[in-house]
Structure 1
Amino acid sequence: MNKICINGFIPAKDARHAGAFSNVRKIAFTLAEVLVTLGIIGVVSAMTVPSLMQNHQRKTYVTQLHKVYNLFSQASVQYMNDNNALNMKEAGITSQTAADEFIKKYFKIALSCGTDAEKCFAAGEYKKMNGVSAEVAALAGMTYYILADGSAIGVGYQSSGMQIQIDINGKKGPNIVGRDVFAFRIYNSGVIDEGGTDAEPPLSAEQRENIYNTYCSGNSQDTWWGCFGKIVNDGWEMTY
């Protein structure tokens, strides 16, 4: 191969690479720059991580609540079908005894606590989101159970249907109404909806919102009403 002569000078074999290497910049960060960057990352993390964790916890609570709701919904439909009835009252829910028989037949029970709420619930520890005490309801003859999934339920018969109280994770915390603690009603018609009202179900979004403002986010003691309906209104999202 003939070598090319440039102005009487013949370049070395690899001389063509020299220019390329001479253009390479050596990039490095000073210690101060690294520390500033890490500081910024730390500040951003401190601002965003708690919010992400709170949102995750809210979703976890709603998922557990929805699971219990589905258990009651499916059991109610099965109960009415088994008794060839159009509603829960016709199917036989006309007393506390009948309500207990319904629970024992259609749910997997880990512990039956009878009328002693303290055996199944964290009695004395429940409160509202604003810190106001909100203990387990004690309807005459109300019975309490722990289901196989670890959730605690209270079942009380009323003329309008069955009042259901739920602690979705049993005695574990936080034991706050609207977080892991809720209540709903299985009406005589078989509809599961918010309680705390004499209105016929299904309730309107406005009715549920009013009950939420009165009981769940209000200062009313010893009631767990209002939070379930708010979650239903908001498309099974915990927005509060």
Structure 2
Amino acid sequence: MKTKAFTLAEVLITLGIIGIVAAITLPVLVSNYKKKIVETRLKRFYSVANNALVTSQSENESWDFWYFNSSVDPSGTKDWYDKYLAEYWKTIKTEEISGGYIVVYFPDGSLVIIKSGVDYFYYPDAGKYSQDNFGKRKHMGKDMFAFAFYPQRKNSQNYRKGIQPYISNKTKVNEDGDIVNTGSYQFTVEELYNDPLRGCRKAENSTTAGAYCTEIIYQNGWKIPRNYPFKF
């Protein structure tokens, strides 16, 4: 029994349909893959960093007595890092940059920028980092994620905790249109998105917008929510 062969027109139509479907689905697949990498590396960094701090505390002194150098000279941060963190996690290299920061590169292709032992800016993809982008805090919440280590700050949610997603004083816009602190560190998820100064949102020419994105992902079980403002 002979089977009917496809005509050239039918083959072209079929290939066209396949191309259209691929054009629609491929960007979604790529985006989901990138999101998964971000989620996985954020969770891993949080775990590895805190395990390192706990081990360091057991071999050094309590976090209550650690000295945090606030100098703008990166050598101060490097000294702190060498004493408390360097030997407790696996890295490729470390470099000093201006402003008191050091850049620590990890084997999985990510990096973290540290200042004074308290401020941490994590890039799941080290290829997204440049000194210019970091200096302007570009793409915070998309390419870069903010963490903090404030174990000695009693008025902070981070008191006697390890490295945590960055949270600061809640802000609001007053009657004069100025952004002011409210004195509260308690946020709803909606407030984490909409905080005027550090909310997880897109904002041109802002060096603080997006700072609370890490906390939103953390509260969602290290999963990027569907209503997240940035695309990957």
Determine if the TM-score, normalized by the shorter chain, exceeds 0.5. Answer: yes
User: With structure 2 as the length reference, what TM-score do the two structures score?
Assistant: 0.64
- Are residue 231 (structure 1) and residue 217 (structure 2) matched? yes
CA contact (8 A) 2:167 2:185 kept: no
| Residue 87 of structure 2, aligned match among 91, 105, 120 | 105
Task: Name 2:69's counterpart in structure 1.
Answer: 95
Letter in 2 for 1:103: L
Instruction: Find 2:122's aligned residue among 166, 171, 174.
Output: 166
CA positional deviation for 1:204? 5.7
Q: Deviation at 1:55? A: 0.8
Equivalent position to 2:43, from 60, 66, 75: 66
Counterpart of 2:119 in structure 1: which amino acid?
A: Q
| Cα distance in 1, alignment partners of residues 190 and 57 from structure 2 | 29
Aligned to 2:22: 45
**Inter-CA distance 57–147: structure 2 relative to 1 (3 Å threshold):** closer
Distance in 1 between the 2:186 and 2:59 partners?
Answer: 23
Q: Distance in 2 between matches of 1:235 and 1:95?
A: 33
Query: Cα RMSD over matched residues?
Result: 3.4
Choose which of 93, 98, 102 in structure 2 pairs with 1:143: 102
Counterpart residue type for residue 62 of structure 1:
E
- Answer with 1 or 2: which has the greater Rg: 1
Q: 2:201 aligned with 1:217, yes or no?
A: yes
Partner of 1:198: 169
Letter in 2 for 1:218: K
Q: Is 1:73–1:192's contact at 8 Å kept on the other side of the alignment?
A: yes
Q: Where in structure 1 are there 5+ consecutive unaligned residues?
A: 1-23, 118-137
Quick one: structure 1 residues 108 and 30, their matched pair in 2 at CA, closer, same or farther if it must change by over 3 Å?
closer
8 Å contact kept, 1:83–1:91: no
Q: Percent identity?
A: 28
Seen in structure 2, the aligned counterparts of structure 1 residues 212 and 173 have a Cα distance that, compared at 3 Å, is farther
- What residue identity is the alignment partner of 1:154? I
Q: Which residue of 1 aligns with 2:178?
A: none
Q: Which amino acid aligns with 2:66?
A: G
Note if contact 1:193-1:201 (Cα within 8 Å) is conserved in structure 2.
no
Residue type matched to 2:105 in 1?
I
Deviations 1:84-105 (A, max 9, x none): 64xx3x1524435574222323
What amino acid sits opposite 1:225 in the alignment? A
Q: Residues 80 and 207 (structure 1 numbering): CA distance in 2 closer, same or farther, change over 3 Å? A: farther
Among 21, 27, 30, the alignment partner of 2:7 is: 30
Q: Distance in 2 between matches of 1:66 and 1:186?
A: 16
